[in-house]
Chain A
Amino acid sequence: MKALKIIVLAKQVPDTRNVGKDAMKADGTVNRAALEAIFNPEDLNALEQALRIKDMVPGSTVTLLTMGPGRAAEVIREGMYRGADNGYLLTDRKFAGSDTLATSYAIATAVSKMEYDIVVAGRQAIDGDTAQVGPQAAEKLGIPQVTYVEEVEKVDAKGLVIKRRLDNGMERVKAPLPVLITVHSSAPDCRPRIAKNVMKFKHARTLTELQDATEDYSQMINNRPYLKINEWSVADIGADEEALGLSGSPTKVKKIENVVFKANEAMVIQANDKEIESLIVELIENHTIG
């Protein structure tokens, strides 16, 4: 069958799973600098599904798309080390402050500039846990969505056969192309870096990174065009500024509170027979148990 063009949506996120004490500032806001920036875990599951489709249909390409600050190019390099062919970084101050609606608008606008058969997203990003960007991007692209994907089992000219993970069961569906899928954490882990690819892509850079670099990489990029990570601004994708950033985001954060639990005076019970029995008797008498 004909080779497929696969786009993976991947986000760089602060590692909220290992939040230490210094992660919260005194004013109750998050100190992003204290948190390591990582490849969003479920986006790695998404990348793996994309690479498996590429394995199934020879000649297919996997392109990463990420929106974020300049350093999010790290996600693209990481993806290329693991087998993606190339990547696009959507970066512009005007994207800053976007909620999921504005983010999905930006992403869908960029995707529609590219050729694609399948868009693969993670189910959700661990910074917001919203799981909204995938379905919203699908709606904006006007294509169907299949969420909570555990495995793309079959690919043929008519489309995909997909196994979905649901709360207490599974569903198998057939989806035509083009389609957007969101991949669940129960899907297989991403394959590790491939040494050959690390060698090949370790100097891959965006133009902005090249400008900041002390060494002169430009010569190298001219000779080896695959080392160029594409960078797109709002103007490059022809997006409507009003629909981006804070002005394009209908949701506003009114208040943020650090989670503090009020401590109440606990009654301390000694671990001996007498005290445990009297606790049990008390609970029976006040009808908590029994």
Chain B
Amino acid sequence: MNNIIVYCETNGNSVAEVSLELLTKARSLSGQLKVQVEAVIIGNDLKGLEDQLYAHGASIVHKAEDSRLEFYQTLPHTSIVVEIFRKEEPQICLFGATPVGRDLAPRIASSLKCGLTADCTSLEIGDHYEKKTDTTFKDLLYQIRPAFGGNIVATIINPGTRPQLATVREGVMKREETNPVVKGKIKNWNVSEIAKKDDFVIEIIERQIEEKRVNIKGSQIIVAGGYGVGSKENFNLLFQLADVLGAEVGGTRAAVDAGYIDHDRQIGQTGVTVRPKLYIACGISGQIQHRAGMMESSMIISINTDASAPINSIADYVIVGNFSEIVPKMIKYYKKNSK
């Protein structure tokens, strides 16, 4: 009762990375609250997926399987999740801030008349004192998110409604397996009893989903380029450096908008959030919205012609100069000194 529930997404035959990140976070919150973590998983054939959920800390897995649920659909998923929340009465529920999570969570929140915070980048547990009513609310979920184009960070709470609902950005929480893995139990929900016929009025005619081609989120080293790189051809130099270092290439929105690099490599508030071991920023000024997606990198090297570029204030190493002269030198000396 009053546990934390994570709505888990699947892609094909595995659980989505963001859902496992959320289970990991839920586990640490549940430790503070002395409750358990549960997972909800909905689809057609979910055989075996519970093992991944147990491994990340779920002690109960709510499963809803139905042949009509091969692909995500708003209405049946809303009905199922609302039913589970009504019966189980969780205190906190988390969703990935993905196209699915951001389509589903508001519909659920409206149905339950509960507060929902979008796109959180951090979650904490804390108290809140309300002066007007002289009441202290204990152990609330602090839902922390950037707002106003990233210029402010707001802490949002839902003192009066349960569950407390939040969607959380991909990549901002770390995923870790439990050790040892404790096997939980499965609770099956009967879809035909919960979902109404009207829940299936939207018909999916066609779906084309590409495998994610790049995985900058998972890369330990990132070579990123900004508008200062100047052209698509110049980005080749960054790809060469990435190649010798075993890194991935990322970019700023300005570089993406200029057509220097593909959209799926954009890092920042409206792109991916990364936390690599090493981040090499070439020709990047380091506006707030870009830093929001990379400032947790363990080490940052900035290469910029402008010694006072804002990115330099969060960098560990600053090389003042033209990237087109510096990057080839880095390649050369890496080749010379490695192995």
Contacts and interface: CB of A to CB of B under 8 A. Distances in A.
Interface of A: 14, 16-17, 19, 23-24, 28-30, 99-101, 104, 126-136, 138-140, 144-148, 161, 166-176, 249-259, 261, 263-264, 266-271, 273, 276-277, 279-281, 283-284, 288-290
Given A99-B115, A148-B99, A266-B316, A16 B151 contact: yes
B206 A136 contact: no
Given A161-B205, A269-B319, A281-B337, A145 B74 contact: yes
A18 to B, nearest CB: 9
B313 A263 contact: yes
Contact of B317 (A147, A169, A269): A269
B151 A135 contact: no
Interface residues of B, number: 81
Given A168-B209, A252-B158, A256-B152, A144 B321 contact: no
Contact of A250 (B113, B206, B318, B337): B113
A150 to B, nearest CB: 12
Contacts, number: 225
B302 interface: yes
Residue from A14, A128, A129 with most neighbouring chain B CB atoms (10 Å)? A129
Given A19-B149, A138-B107, A253 B154 contact: yes
Interface stretch (B34-42, B59-67, B185-193, B196-204): B196-204
Contact of B318 (A135, A266, A289): A266
B264 interface: yes
Contact of B115 (A126, A250, A255, A284): A250
B149 A17 contact: yes
Given A17-B149, A131-B106, A254-B157, A276 B318 contact: no
A132 B295 CA distance: 28
Contact of B207 (A28, A171, A289): A171
The 3 closest A-B pairs by CB, nearest first: A250-B115, A271-B321, A16-B149
Nearest to B313: A263
A254 B103 CA distance: 26
Main secondary structure of the interface of A (DSSP, over half): mixed
Main secondary structure of the interface of B (DSSP, over half): mixed
A279 B315 CA distance: 14
A203 B99 CA distance: 41
Contacts of A135: 74, 103, 106-107, 110
A274 to B, nearest CB: 10
A101 B151 contact: no
A167 B99 contact: yes
Contacts of B278: 283, 288-289
Residue from A130, A134, A174, A289 with most neighbouring chain B CB atoms (10 Å)? A289
B208 interface: yes
A104 B326 CA distance: 53
Nearest to B128: A254
B136 interface: no
B312 A266 contact: yes
Interface string B87-129: 0000000000011001101110111011111110000000010
B142 A254 contact: yes
Nearest to B160: A250
Interface in B289-339: 291, 295, 299, 301-302, 312-322, 325-326, 329-330, 333-334, 336-338
A84 B211 CA distance: 40
Contacts of A270: 319-320
B107 A30 contact: no
A145 B72 CA distance: 13
Given A136-B106, A136-B107, A146-B202, A288 B153 contact: no
B110 A166 contact: no
Nearest to B170: A167
A241 to B, nearest CB: 16
